[in-house]
Chain A
Amino acid sequence: MPQVLTANRLKAGEVAYWNRSAGWVDTLAEAEIMAPADAEAALTAAAEWVRKGEVVAPYLFDVRTDNGVIVPVKVREAIRAAGPSVRTDVGKQARNVSL
């Protein structure tokens, strides 16, 4: 199953996703979808970003694509990508961007 690399930004605490051409990005829509082997390599490489104090707690999660939209397999990641399901006025979902 394809995967996405995620972490939280050290300073802001905000959820971030990895994309090799853009670096750490704010939305899941901008994230890079990777095959498991590439994803593992990206996770290993993320240790350097942790060391540099850019992000903390990187890990991989499973996604599928639905008509070109990245959809996390687990609810947890859907909530991280958008914000609290019970408060749609806060979090990334409250911004005028595509998630």
Chain B
Amino acid sequence: MYRYDEFDFQFVRERAEQFRGQVARRLAGELTEEEFKPLRLMNGLYLQLHSYMLRIAIPYGTLSARQLRKLGDIARRYDRGYGHFTTRQNLQLHWSQLPDVPDILLELADVEMNCIQTSGNNVRNISADPFAGAAAGELEDPRVLCEILRQWSTLHPEFSFLPRKFKICVIGTEEDRAALLIHDIAIKIIRNEKGETGYRVYVGGGLGRTPYLAEEIGAFIDKHDILSFLEATMRVYNEAGRRDNIHKARVKILVHQIGIPEMRRRVEEEFSEIRKQGTLEVPVHEMVRIAAYFAPPAFEKLADECPSYEQHLRENHDFAQWAKTNVHPHKMPGYAIVTISLKPIGKTPGDCSSEQMEGLADAMDALGQQEVRVTHEQNLVLPHMRKADLYALWQKLVPLELATPNCGLVTDIIACPGLDYCDLANARSIPIAQAIAKRFSDLDRQHDLGELKIKISGCINACGHHHVGHIGILGVDRKGVENYQILLGGSGAEDATLGEILGPGFDQQGIVDAVENVIGTYTTLRQNGERFLDTYRRVGPHPFKERLYAR
């Protein structure tokens, strides 16, 4: 993975000290809250319901064991002993105190981490496929570009006060495990007819109150041109994006106001100007230099069949159940990708205690694992496990409560922090996730239902990605009471679609029954192993609506 050199270290430490100065000016009354707010947000610090919340960047979702251990340590010493992994592959600490934050930033810098641009109207943490470097069929590891983009966008002088936040995502496979098209800019590594790899660029995705999937703006951008192309796109947005209404300020609104052809024309014009200057070209040797950091580990030459693994599968039912959903094919024979569920039944989706972080870091060290990934589905991934080590890993995960066998199933629910923590929320998300998980806790029933993605947001801002859930749930405030709307048919995968609201909302009890009702409709209508989403796409909303709202 990428390692800081002296320049990166100096940069993040100076940034932490700069924030120390800003905090001091705030506490001395030299900065008003209005002036301080964007400065703290650019360092990931929010004021939430109960306290300050610090959002720590996990660039492209990759962490080392050392970093994970440090996060556990920081959560224990400065916070309440746990953190929350988010749909943007970040970690949030919910109980920060303002005077501590500069110290936390310096401690993070020691392990090559920071909170730069995890909030604010700038380029946010760049997300990527959590299976990067491990997935079969990947053209290139997307994190190479992510790291180049991270450096380019860090304290970008022109784009630090954009109309609104700006999210970028990169993937290198046909399969989409990163919810690519809901980003402001989405980049897919592709190969052209000449066999060269380059980038297909999409613009204007985003959820919130006006959800859109990103549309193609660059069919094939040469690798050395990517910064020029992105800078062109962002300049068009910075100049023309709306600033009079925060709800209409994302680039998706600009794109849909002027249309993709006009957006493309403006970007192309700017792109050709920038290319003339040539200063943003990414030289091949820089790509090669960064790529070397992401070189895969030295894989052993293994047979794909692993007798000891097969034997454990036969002998241990619980292990076999876990492997069924949480172990995925790896590009190398004899290896596997493992998802570690942060969705124990009845607990908070995405939460991870200091003990769990440290315990997992120890397990990684013991099993020679360099990296763990954070997924937008709020789980963790060990990308390069030998099959022969899977049983040993599982045995270590069980006592840590990190072995819930539910990845991709109905209880693997995305939920934003909601009204339990968030200042923007209108309704709670976590208790709904917990109640649904409990209702469907029977593992055989979960397997019978197959892949089913439930995503819950506590407000229209859609941090819980409800628009792209097979079943989406949106919490709203109805005359002071929490109320939940249900959406069906969304997908954040390679077959991305936006779900549609089915009808009137439900109260806290009612929404769990409504989900069960909708799933019941699916089980009566499904044909030959169809997923919930496939059945919905085949039959449309009406059968679901009729049964759910029948009197």
Contacts and interface: CB of A to CB of B under 8 A. Distances in A.
Interface of A: 8, 10-15, 50-53, 56-57, 73-76, 79-80, 83-87, 90-91
Interface string B421-440: 10001011011001000000
Nearest to A80: B49
Contacts of A76: 49, 419, 425
Nearest to A84: B420
B50 A56 contact: no
A84 B427 CA distance: 12
B96 A86 contact: no
Contacts of B29: 51-53
Contact of B434 (A73, A75, A86): A86
Contacts of B308: none
The 6 closest A-B pairs by CB, nearest first: A13-B52, A84-B420, A13-B51, A86-B430, A90-B80, A56-B33
Given A11-B99, A15-B50, A84-B421, A53 B27 contact: yes
B480 interface: yes
Interface residues of B, number: 31
Contacts of B480: 73-75
B266 interface: no
B502 interface: no
A29 to B, nearest CB: 17
Given A13-B52, A53-B27, A74-B480, A79 B420 contact: yes
Contacts of B80: 90
Given A8-B51, A84-B50, A86-B420, 15 more contacts: A10-B27, A11-B27, A11-B99, A13-B48, A13-B50, A13-B52, A14-B51, A15-B49, A15-B50, A51-B29, A53-B27, A56-B33, A73-B480, A79-B428, A86-B434
Interface of B: 26-29, 33, 47-52, 80, 95-99, 348, 419-421, 425, 427-428, 430-431, 434, 477, 480-482
Contacts of A83: 50
A51 B427 CA distance: 32
B419 A90 contact: no
A83 B348 CA distance: 15
A97 to B, nearest CB: 15
Given A13-B97, A53-B27, A75-B482, A80 B348 contact: no
A61 B195 CA distance: 63
Contacts of A15: 49-50
A84 B33 CA distance: 26
B97 to A, nearest CB: 5
Contact of A13 (B28, B98, B481, B482): B98
A91 B482 CA distance: 22
